[in-house]
Amino acid sequence: MKNLIFSCCFLFAFTLQAQTDVNLILNHQFDGVPFVYSAIYLDDQGRAVEFNRVQYYMSSFELIHDGAQTTPLTSLYVLTNANVSNYPLGNFNVTDVEGFNFDLGVDYAANHGNSSNYPLSHPLAPQTPLMDWGWPSGYFFLVLNGKVDNNADGVPETPFEMNAIGDMMLKDVDLILSASPTTNTIDITLNVRIENWIKNIDLATVGITHNSGSTNQTMCANTITRQVFEALQITGISQIEIPSYITTDYTMAYAPVLNYKLSAKSDYSLAIRDINGKLIIQEEHLGFEGNYFIKKELKSGIYFATFSGNSKLLTHKFVVQR
């Protein structure tokens, strides 16, 4: 009986030890340098370009591990934003990861479901700014919005919006990599080369393309043909460190979104004040990277958003024009 109890305890302990937290780390880059919203880059035609929104869905995840075993991460969806690097995938019975597969976009069943059926915290729930056109039209699989220089003065002024929608936009990404646990955690680290999504696309003529047309088909196809996602083969590597920054997405001018990335990994508080110093919004326990949607309609004027935490303080000015 004692031996049986000991064996059961050993098996239970082994099972617990075998469980590993798996994190997806996305290093968003443009031409090899860390990506920052509103920074100026050059497209493949040498024109100045800046982005105010880069988002995409990932789904149908598979882990290839421990001698070519396959573990599907069922019912898992990730909605990314280019200023966010860390995405926990869950806890799995995995020791060594040898491959990582996923789809860019949303599978057929989910894409033809109703976003209002999901709780607000779910990636497939209605988002702000919008990531779907509602049932039955489906989700935007990949969104790239910004401005490009069209008059050769070096300043991006011509807006473009590429919001890819439609089942044909789904792209299967299969990656070979090597990752082992560090303190019961495995980081799957990928470089995301944003410049490759816009190859062979004349951004100056794009305009607003919220559809499944040829421009968006080229953008999504570049995911594979231009190898947007690259697996890093260094075990335990973390995301690339970039300076703290805050930018404003004015898609909804009266209630903008603050895109932020802060260097210290701790909880932050957010205070939004008007030009007179009056406190308009106060939030606590925000993460060090993310997208804060201002749910309150603001009057026209100048505002200041201040993130504070762990002896760090960063203030950002934004303007509301109604």
Express each pLDDT in 119-135 by its tens digit. 999 999 999 999 999 87
57 and 191 part of one domain? yes
Q: Which of 231, 255, 275 is the last residue of a domain?
A: 231
Q: What is the pLDDT of residues 203-237, one digit of tens each?
A: 999 999 999 999 999 999 999 999 999 998 644 44
**Average pLDDT of the residues of the chain:** 90
Is 8 among the domain residues?
Answer: no
Look at 67 and 251; give whichever has higher pLDDT.
67
* 158 pLDDT higher than 70: yes
The pLDDT of residue 263: 78
In a domain? residue 14: no
Same domain, 209 and 278: no
Q: What is the CATH number of the domain that holds 305?
A: 2.60.40.10
- Please check whether residue 49 lies inside any domain of the structure: yes
pLDDT of 66 strictly over 50: yes
Domain boundary (177, 199, 231) is at: 231
The answer to whether residue 308 scores a pLDDT higher than 60 is: yes
Would you say residue 12 lies in a domain? no
My answer on whether 190 and 316 are in the same domain is no
Q: Residue 11: inside a domain, yes or no?
A: no
> Cβ(221)–Cβ(201) under 8 Å?
no
Predicted pLDDT at 27: 95
Query: What does the H/E/C string look like for the chain?
Result: CHHHHHHHHHHHHHHHHHEEEEEEEEEEEECCEECCCCCCEECCCCCEEEEEEEEEEEEEEEEEECCCEEEEECCCCEEEECCCCEEEEEEEECCCEEEEEEEECCCHHHHCCCHHHCCCCCCCCCCCCCCECCCCCCEEEEEEEEEECCCCCCCCCEEEEEEEECHHHCEEEEEEEEECCECCEEEEEEEEEHHHHHCCCCHHHCCEEEECCHHHHHHHHHHHHCCCEEECCCCCCCCCCCCCEEEEECCCCCCCEEEEECCCCCCEEEEEEECCCCEEEEEEEECCEEEEECCCCCCCEEEEEEEEECCEEEEEEEEECC
179 beta partners? 97
Amino acid (1-letter code) at residue 198: I
pLDDT at residue 77 is higher than 50: yes
- Give yes or no: residues 202 and 313 share one domain: no
In-domain check, residue 238: no
In this prediction, residue 11 carries a pLDDT of 38
User: pTM value?
Assistant: 0.88
Share of the chain above pLDDT 90, in %: 79
pLDDT over 70 at 6, yes or no: no
Stretch 33-41: mean pLDDT:
95
Q: Do the domain assignments include residue 183?
A: yes
Per-residue pLDDT at 240: 58
Domain hosting residue 156, numbered range: 21-231
What's the confidence (pLDDT) of residue 233?
62
How many whole angstroms separate alpha carbon 171 and alpha carbon 122? 22
207 & 280 share domain: no
Of 231, 259, 291, which residue constitutes the final position of a domain?
231
Residue 3 has a pLDDT of: 47
Other CB atoms closer than 10 Å to residue 113's CB: what's the count? Answer: 18
Whether 21 shows a pLDDT value over 90: the answer reads yes
Instruction: Say how many domains are in the chain.
Output: 2
pLDDT of residue 182 exceeding 60, the answer is yes
Do 129 and 261 reside in the same domain of the chain? no
Say whether pLDDT at 57 is over 50.
Answer: yes
Burial class of 100 by CB neighbour count within 10 A (0 to 12, 13 to 18, 19+): buried
pLDDT tier, 239 (very low <50, low <70, confident <90, very high otherwise): low
Contact in structure between 266 and 309 (CB atoms under 8 Å): yes
The pLDDT value given to residue 251: 86
Verify that 308 and 204 share a domain, yes or no: no
210 and 251, same domain (yes or no): no
Judged by average pLDDT, the poorest of 91-105, 212-226, 304-318 is: 304-318
- Stretch 35-50: mean pLDDT, rounded? 96
Whether residue 87 sits in one domain with residue 205: yes
* Contact assessment for residue 107 and residue 284, using Cβ atoms and an 8 Å cutoff: no
- Pick from 86-100, 187-201, 228-242, 261-275: least confident: 228-242
pLDDT at position 253 is: 84
**Is residue 239 in some structural domain?**
no
Residues 72 and 128 occupy one common structural domain: yes
Same domain, residue pair 38 and 150: yes
Let me know whether 97 and 188 are in one domain. yes
